[in-house]
């Protein structure tokens, strides 16, 4: 049952990509900034919990909560200090400088701090649900993978419910469609920018904690995670969290299938070539034209 197991593996990694893609695209909607530091928050989540639990000896729930609170506070401070000057100041930064490249600096900064705090070795947060893989016929389900899927469904569902059914979600959508218009009708877009930034940072950290037992993280793992999130968000047209989610799942499954059936060594290379060809062939259908700004 190779196909079935590859599919399970693909959906698991795909749901990780999907969650980071949702984080990137939701915040891009409200801020017009691509958060390329989202993976670094995940790394901090995993390595932070590992450090507090294994090295400092705190109980696991305390370690998790402390880490998430630290991430939230840091995200709040970054918004209050840096993003306020960058976007709300007398001379807001415009164009590609802020859209593409601004959060690189944040990513570098977080990685540097993580190197000082956690060292350079591979670590992972402790498994939250230990035990041997569950089997169903010839299908194998890793427990960590199931946990990732469960988190993805719960968090993704909560996001969807929030955007679809609450006033806050509508306001969020409005500030994404037209920031100035949203401000005119009384929506505080800055507040949403801050709220979503903190929210996505915490969700990313949480996902890092859940995901890390599968892959293991170093202080430099953030960039790779951000990249996968960025790619999946890109194929969702950057502004569409729903499409980003589908794109993330699709990329994950495609990656697993290529690795399993084409070449374990060059599977990723083929994957990236396919993804590049897809953009060049159907830029409009993949939502790129509408996302192009200035």
Q: Which residues of 36-51 are buried (b: 16+ CB within 10 A; e: fewer)?
A: bbbbbbbbbbbbbbbb
For position 280 contacting another protein by CB under 8 A, the verdict is yes
d(CA 50, CA 44): 10
d(CA 52, CA 60): 8
Shortest Cβ distance from residue 283 to another protein (Å)?
4
Shortest Cβ distance from residue 276 to another protein (Å)?
4
- Cβ closer to another protein: 188 or 268? 268
Smallest CA-to-CA distance from 177 within 93, 236, 239, 94 is with: 239
For position 147 contacting another protein by CB under 8 A, the verdict is no
Q: Decide if 225 contacts 15 (C-beta within 8 A).
A: no
Give the contact letters, 192-231, x = binds to another protein (CB under 8 A), - = no. -------------------------------x---x---x
Smallest CA-to-CA distance from 13 within 273, 237, 251, 230 is with: 251
Site residues for another protein, 37-96, by CB under 8 A, read: 82, 85-86, 93-96
Q: Which residues contact 75 (CB under 8 A, 6 or more apart)?
A: 41, 197, 198, 201, 202
Shortest Cβ distance from residue 152 to another protein (Å)?
23
For position 257 contacting another protein by CB under 8 A, the verdict is no
Binding site for another protein (CB under 8 A): 82, 85-86, 93-98, 100-102, 104-113, 115-116, 223, 227, 231, 234, 238, 265-266, 268-269, 272-273, 275-276, 279-280, 283, 286, 288-289, 291-294
């Amino acid at each position: 049952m190779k196909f079935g197991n590859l599919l399970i593996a693909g959906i698991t990694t795909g749901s990780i990509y999907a969650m980071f893609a949702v984080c990137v695209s939701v915040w891009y909607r409200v801020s017009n900034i691509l958060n390329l530091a989202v993976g670094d928050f995940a790394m901090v989540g995993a390595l932070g919990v590992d450090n507090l639990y294994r090295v400092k000896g705190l109980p696991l729930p305390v370690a998790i909560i402390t880490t998430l609170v630290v991430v939230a506070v840091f995200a709040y401070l970054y918004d209050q200090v840096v993003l306020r000057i960058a976007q709300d100041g007398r001379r807001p930064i415009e164009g590609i400088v802020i859209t593409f490249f601004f959060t690189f600096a944040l990513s570098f900064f977080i990685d540097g701090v993580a190197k000082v705090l956690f060292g350079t070795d591979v670590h992972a947060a402790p498994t939250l649900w230990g035990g041997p893989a569950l089997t169903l016929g010839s299908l194998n389900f890793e427990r960590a993978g199931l946990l990732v899927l469960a988190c993805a469904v719960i968090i993704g569902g909560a996001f969807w419910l929030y955007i679809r059914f609450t006033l806050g979600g509508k306001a969020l959508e409005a500030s994404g469609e037209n920031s100035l218009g949203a401000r005119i009708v009384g929506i505080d877009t800055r507040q949403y920018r801050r709220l979503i930034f903190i929210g996505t940072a915490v969700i990313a950290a949480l996902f890092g904690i859940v995901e890390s037992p599968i892959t293991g993280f170093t202080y430099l793992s953030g960039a790779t995670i951000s990249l996968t999130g960025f790619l999946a968000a890109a194929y969702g047209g950057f502004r569409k969290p729903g499409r980003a989610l589908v794109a993330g799942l699709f990329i994950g499954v495609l990656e697993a299938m290529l690795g399993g059936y084409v070449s374990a060594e060059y599977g990723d290379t083929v994957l990236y070539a396919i993804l590049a060809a897809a953009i060049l062939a159907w830029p409009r259908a993949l939502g790129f034209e509408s996302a192009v700004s200035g």
